[in-house]
Amino acid sequence: MTNNQKNKKITKSQLSSNNLVISHWSLEFKNLNKGFTTLELLIVMSISVVLLLAAGFLIYNSQKKGRALEQSVRTMVADIRLVQSNALAVQTIGGSIPKAAVVRVASNQAPEIYYYSGSCNSLASKLDRRISLGGTAVVSSVSPFSPIYLIYTTPFGRFYVTNVNPSFTNSINGSCAPLGALNSDVNINLTNGSQNYRIEINNKTGELTIL
């Protein structure tokens, strides 16, 4: 057999092999080009819509809970400021002018507002109301102690903080001062389970700040 004949045979063999490879990849390419069926596309679109709706609901629900928590915090701050304003303005509460207004704040309880009347050494307390937190918010912690008592005395609106049920003694110009007042700021943390707010109360001035 001549060299030319050998070369021709090799060439034919290689061509045959190459044709098989090309045929194989051609079939694969055709299979790929078939794409998705209408049913498959509908299934994918349905799953995508469900996932988008679920994500949207979670975001909306989180924002709704966040707004409710913020409203509860602002309501609590407004109620405490009102108590302070009443003490400064020497407002008549329940037919008499109280000697002191007290807000009791404790973990996992609704804050309570009390008014104290009588003589300084024997003041009688009366629960005025509880501050509503809207059913979604809760006082998660209070520092430096829980419970803590925020005390506003008349007629000067002096602010005090104690960690025990307050008892009073005589002060200047007929006002009363609580015994055992603390010298520290107060931090009240509120939560709805996933989001948190903090109310900081300045020990000197009674100023409230939402953080």
Q: Does residue 54 fall inside a structural domain?
A: no
d(CA 8, CA 194): 79
Q: What is the domain count for the chain?
A: 2
Q: Does residue 55 fall inside a structural domain?
A: no
Same domain, residue pair 4 and 80: no
DSSP E strand stretches across 3-147: 100-105, 112-117, 124-130, 138-143
Owning domain of residue 21: 1-30
Same domain, residue pair 113 and 178: yes
Q: Does residue 134 fall inside a structural domain?
A: yes
Same domain, residue pair 20 and 117: no
Same domain, residue pair 102 and 24: no
Print pLDDT tens along the chain (211 aa). Answer: 554 444 444 455 554 554 544 455 454 545 545 556 888 888 888 888 888 888 877 777 777 888 989 999 999 999 999 998 888 887 777 778 899 999 999 999 999 999 999 889 888 999 999 999 987 899 999 999 999 999 999 888 789 999 999 999 998 877 899 999 999 999 999 999 889 999 999 999 899 999 9
Q: Does residue 45 fall inside a structural domain?
A: no
C-alpha distances in angstroms, 169 versus 98, 174, 176?
A: 15, 10, 6
Same domain, residue pair 102 and 196: yes
